[in-house]
């Protein structure tokens, strides 16, 4: 049983590190031992758990499912050991998170840093990316998602909300005027961040929700570039409220046409149902709720 538990711990470590050598170093065994243990486990299961190349090691779909269940089982065993020892259950081991780049840099990284300071046995891997991350397949403990969620087997915990908003600099508005109605936008230079302008349309709320086809002067897939262009007085940008909170507060940008904004978008933490009891997941959710309760990011 001990050998099997060690094999399972090695399996999870390889999945988290993406490397047999790194996993072996973490668990203080030789790389050959780690490789043999995982190979023996694959033979016993009759399934391939990893795709191996000379440059990378990544989970197969079967491997991702097996690793997730294994991680949960190991955490249950470790929690039982800690309870038996009379110790309080503390976050420990690896916590893997992902978040959109700007939101993650501004708001998730500080939460992670505070959590690591509070729990010396905890380590974290924070993946900042604007691509859609597959939580189960990529071994993610918690994913931060902004927007309405599709039906999913994942659990969601709402921690905040944000709006899609229009902003411009005072210099631009003095030169070109302030738009009051949606139709007024046709006379302005527009800056589009492409993930918010599907089919070249901007959606608006208010008393009569509508969609308007736009002809932006500048399109970009990089939100800092869109914000910089607005700050430079180039035109009106459509962004998420948290992305320009500092610039709005210090007056460098002005929020426009607030009465035409769509309903707010939720900011959710997504995680697998069987991870809800994990001390690491619980600790991050609690820390995130405390963080956002003290801040207005909308």
What integer pLDDT is reported at residue 257 of this predicted model? 94
Give the phi and the psi of residue 33 in degrees, each rounded to 5: -65, -45
Q: What is the DSSP string of the chain?
A: -HHHHHHHHHHHHHHHHT-HHHHHHHHTS-HHHHHHHHHHHHHHHTS--EEE-SS-EEE-HHHHHHHHHHHHHHHHHHHHHHHHTTPPP---EEEEEEE-HHHIIIIIHHHHHHHHHH-TTEEEEEEE-SSPP-TTTTT-SEEEEESPPPS-SSEEEEEEEE-EEEEE-HHHHHHH----SGGGGGGS-EEEEGGG-GGGEEEE-SSS-EEEE---SEEES-HHHHHHHHHTTS-EEEEEGGGGHHHHHTTSSEEE-GGGPPPPEEEEEEE-GGGTT-HHHHHHHHHHHHHHHT----
Q: Are 174 and 263 a contacting pair, CB within 8 Å? A: no
The CATH code that applies to domain 1-87 is 1.10.10.10
> What confidence category does residue 106 fall into, taking pLDDT thresholds of 50, 70 and 90?
very high
**Mean confidence (pLDDT) of the chain:** 87
Q: What percent of the chain has pLDDT over 90?
A: 43
pLDDT band at 167 (very low <50, low <70, confident <90, very high): very high
Question: What pLDDT is stored for residue 130 in this prediction?
Answer: 84
Pick from 180-194, 226-240, 266-280: least confident: 266-280
Q: What does the pLDDT average to over 89-105? A: 90
Q: Which of 27-41, 61-75, 252-266 has the highest mean pLDDT?
A: 252-266
168 vs 66 pLDDT, higher one: 168
The region that residue 59 occupies, defined by phi over 0 for left and psi between -120 and 50 for alpha, beta otherwise, is beta
pLDDT (mean) for 171-177: 96
In the chain, % of residues over pLDDT 70: 93
CATH of domain 164-260: 3.40.190.290
pLDDT at 212: 81
Give the pLDDT mean for 169-176. Answer: 96
Domain spans, the chain: 1-87, 90-161+264-298, 164-260
Q: What is the CATH number of domain 90-161+264-298?
A: 3.40.190.10
pLDDT band of 1, cuts 50, 70, 90: very low
Whether 10 and 50 have beta carbons less than 8 Å apart is answered as: no
Compute the average pLDDT of residues 186-210. 78
Task: Tell me what the mean pLDDT of segment 56-81 comes to.
Answer: 81
Say which residue, 276 or 66, is predicted with more confidence.
66
Contacts for 65-70 with beta carbons within 8 Å, 24 or more apart?
65/136, 66/11, 67/11, 67/12, 67/15, 67/139, 68/136, 68/139, 68/272, 68/274, 69/274, 70/8, 70/11, 70/12
Indicate the pLDDT class of residue 86, thresholds 50, 70 and 90.
Answer: very low
* Two domains, one topology: 90-161+264-298 and 164-260: yes
pLDDT score of 39 more than 50: yes
Per-residue pLDDT for 79 more than 80? no
pLDDT at 194 over 70: no
Q: How far apart are CA 280 and CA 141, in angstroms?
A: 9
pTM for the full predicted model: 0.66
Among 73-77, 82-86, 102-106, 141-145, the minimum mean pLDDT is found in 82-86
- Phi first, then psi, for residue 233 (nearest 5°) are 85, 20
Q: Are 244 and 167 in contact (CB under 8 A)?
A: yes
């Amino acid at each position: 049983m001990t050998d099997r538990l060690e094999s399972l711990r090695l399996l999870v470590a390889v999945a988290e590190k993406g490397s047999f050598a790194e996993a072996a170093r973490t668990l203080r065994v030789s790389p050959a031992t780690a490789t043999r243990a995982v190979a023996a486990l694959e033979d016993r299961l009759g399934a391939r758990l990893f795709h191996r190349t000379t440059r990378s090691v990544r989970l197969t779909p079967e491997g991702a499912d097996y690793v997730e269940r294994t991680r949960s089982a190991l955490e249950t065993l470790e929690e039982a050991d800690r309870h038996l020892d009379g110790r309080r259950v503390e976050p420990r081991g690896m916590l893997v998170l992902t978040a959109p780049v700007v939101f993650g840099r501004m708001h998730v990284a500080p939460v992670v840093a505070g959590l690591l300071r509070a729990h010396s046995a905890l380590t974290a891997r924070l993946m900042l990316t604007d691509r859609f991350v597959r939580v189960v397949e990529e071994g993610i403990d918690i994913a931060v998602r902004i927007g309405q969620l599709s039906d999913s087997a994942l659990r969601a915990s709402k921690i905040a909300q944000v709006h899609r908003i229009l902003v411009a600099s005072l210099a631009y508005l003095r030169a070109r005027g302030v738009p009051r109605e949606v139709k007024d936008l046709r006379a302005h230079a527009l800056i589009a961040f492409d993930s918010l302008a599907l089919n070249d349309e901007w959606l608006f709320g208010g008393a009569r929700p509508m969609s308007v086809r736009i002809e932006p002067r500048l399109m970009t897939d990089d939100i800092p570039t869109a914000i910089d262009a607005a700050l430079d007085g180039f035109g009106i940008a459509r962004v998420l409220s948290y992305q320009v909170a500092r610039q709005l507060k210090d007056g460098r940008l002005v929020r426009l046409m607030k009465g035409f904004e769509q309903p707010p978008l939720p900011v959710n933490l997504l995680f697998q149902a069987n991870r809800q009891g994990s001390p690491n997941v619980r600790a991050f959710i609690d820390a995130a709720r405390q963080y956002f309760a003290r801040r207005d990011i909308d």
